[in-house]
Amino acid sequence: MLLKTLKLILITRYSKFFIVILVLLLAYNIFTGLVIKPTEIVYYRYVVLAIFSFFTLLAGVNSTVPLLKSDVHFLFVSAMPRKDLILSLFTSKYVFYGLSSLIPVLYTLPFTQTGRIDELAGLILSVLMTFFVTSIGLALYNFSIRVRIAVSAAATLWLISPIFGFYYSPMAYLFDHFTYGIIFVVILSAGFTYFAFRTLATSQIEKTRVIGSVREKRDREGNIIVKIPRETTFRNRSVAFNTIAFNFSRVPIYSRTSFISRNRSGTTKISRVIIAGIAISIVLNLILVKMSTSGSTDLLLSIFISVYSVMFIPLLFSQSALALERAWLSFTSMDPGIYMKYFMTGKILQALSFTAPISAGLIFISLFYG
């Protein structure tokens, strides 16, 4: 029953393509860690530290239970054992936060230690840290946003404290203080995992209602502010051009900040997306310039960061492409196959406009910094 429940939970939350990508990345990084000789490079420790700190803050603040509306009306009223459902929900949470943090850590871990034994110990502690990253959001589920921010910020500061010479931290194992690292990682991971399962077991999460809220902007007198968009003309242009231009200029944004409590959707201008791409390109290339000193390991990490940013940012960017599409109108105005061809052309141009600054920066780095 547990395996069937787990399979049901996973396939209703993640696509098969997403699972395959995670498995391939996980297998590749494990293989890389086995074939690359452990070589200590100091700043790789800070990369691992930054990864766990980022996901800790993200998971803690965005405290959610991976629950769908169908779960409330079916799974929680069925004869399915509650413990199987709880374990499956935790696993689905781990797939997103745990594996997402573990995959890049596995790649950089061989460059943080000098021997296989130390690397194995670092691997075990890193896996335990992923359970903490996964559990902190569930453990703080019943608390207010202020408490979640405070606890997440405090935990993040504790993780990065070895940078300032304070080694009573879970991440002390990255700085050759394995004793402190083992003690605090075990305590932190076990404690938050316990509270995460306790939250799932005791909280009446199945009674959470689906809340759809629309925020209205009002002036000081309480009148609703209505923004009239700029008029768009489609005169003297072909159907293909108009359809592609419309889907290129409108960038849909859809997010589910809580799997069952609130959905948010909207659109933004393509100009803002291009500006964001330029900003990311500047930050990314400054990091790569800083890293491109010498040695093949630096090149490997640079390639990993480059491919990760160019491939996965557009992948996340495209998840909401069809979320706000009005199929009842679009597919009745022209042949669905023709419309989808124009639609995908516009979305491809969106992805290119976003990644073009990043790609240009990477080409510049490769030409002038090797």
Which two three-digit tokens encode residue 321? Answer: 């492409």
**Of 216, 210, 170, the residue nearest 190 (C-alpha):** 170
Mean pLDDT calculated for residue range 246-253: 76
Q: Is the dihedral of CA 336, 339, 341, 345 positive or negative?
A: negative
Mapping DSSP to helix (H, G, I), strand (E, B) and coil, where does residue 140 land? coil
Q: How confident is the model at residue 154 (pLDDT cuts 50, 70, 90)?
A: very high
Mean pLDDT calculated for residue range 14-36: 82
Q: Report the C-alpha gap between 258 and 210 in whole angstroms.
A: 10
Summarised one tens digit per residue, pLDDT across range 291-328 is 665 444 455 555 556 665 666 656 655 666 666 677 77
**Of 151, 113, 150, the residue nearest 132 (C-alpha):** 151
Higher pLDDT, 169 or 114: 169
Q: Taking each helix axis from N to C terminus, what angle separates 116-139 and 99-108, rounded to the nearest 10 degrees? A: 160
User: How far, CA to CA in Å, does 330 sit from each of 1, 16, 339?
Assistant: 43, 28, 7
Q: Taking each helix axis from N to C terminus, what angle separates 336-368 and 239-249, rounded to the nearest 10 degrees? A: 60
Summarised one tens digit per residue, pLDDT across range 323-358 is 667 777 788 888 888 888 888 888 888 878 877 887
**Of 109, 224, 83, the residue nearest 171 (C-alpha):** 109
pLDDT computed for residue 187 by the predictor: 92
Summarised one tens digit per residue, pLDDT across range 197-241 is 988 887 655 554 333 334 445 555 656 555 545 555 556 678 888
- For the chain, what is the mean pLDDT? 75
Report whether pLDDT(256) > 70.
no
pTM, entire model: 0.60
Higher pLDDT, 276 or 114: 276
Report whether pLDDT(132) > 90.
yes
Q: Report the C-alpha gap between 46 and 50 in whole angstroms.
A: 6
Q: Identify whether the C-beta of residue 339 lies closer than 8 Å to the C-beta of residue 329.
A: no
Report whether pLDDT(25) > 50.
yes
Residue 254, strand partner residues = 265
Which two three-digit tokens encode residue 152? Answer: 């997440």
Q: Identify whether the C-beta of residue 2 lies closer than 8 Å to the C-beta of residue 87.
A: yes
Which of 17-31, 41-55, 61-75, 203-217 shows the lowest per-residue confidence on average (mean pLDDT)? 203-217
Report whether pLDDT(195) > 60.
yes
